Amino acid sequence: MRQLSIGGAWVHEPKVFPDSRGSFHEWFRSPDLAEAAGHRLRLEQANCSVSARGTLRGVHFADVPPSQAKYVKCVRGAVLDVIVDIRVGSPTYRRWEAVRLDDSDHHAVYLAEGLGHAFMALTDDATVIYLCSEGYAPEREHGIHPLDPDLGIEWPEGVTPLLSEKDAAAPTLAEAERQGLLPSYEECEAYYRKLRAADAPVG
């Protein structure tokens, strides 16, 4: 697990073992994630999305607590996965970081509760699977427009973004902050401490 520049975000870079039959790798190891994040990932839901080239999903996030931590991997094709720090008061507030996920290197990313998440499909039939710490709850889910110029995410050139109606109508980061939709860094840190305490050994 390699720490990214945004606190609460890591990339898993597994060793891939190829042979004449194909390849093998471990795409998720609970002890490795627990060592990095300080607590285990509580699995409540697993999702799979298949996207045409140019499909842009996000930026999505959920209310804290409990929000929704995600462990994301692309099992077919390739995507540009983007994590955005939307925690008001964070030292890296407004920062974003992109990681290419594909079916060659087999990298995966983990983002903690309170962070924003988006990805763009770089190939047709790009298939993304992700493990979630909480189930989908529409009343707690929010979005930020992924093409917000003030956020300035550098999506690949020459690819026309395909957005859902919901994502296309999402507010900018500044609008979401004014509307009080964004989580605070303080409440996120408090929730992380609660998760770590719940996983701490007894005695």
State the catalytic residues.
Answer: 60, 130
What whole-number distance in Å separates Cα of residue 55 and Cα of residue 126? 9
Phi and psi (nearest 5°) for 147? -105, 15
H or E stretch including 188? helix 185-199
For the beta carbon of residue 162, count every other beta carbon within 10 angstroms.
Answer: 16
Closest CA to 84 of 93, 96, 98: 96
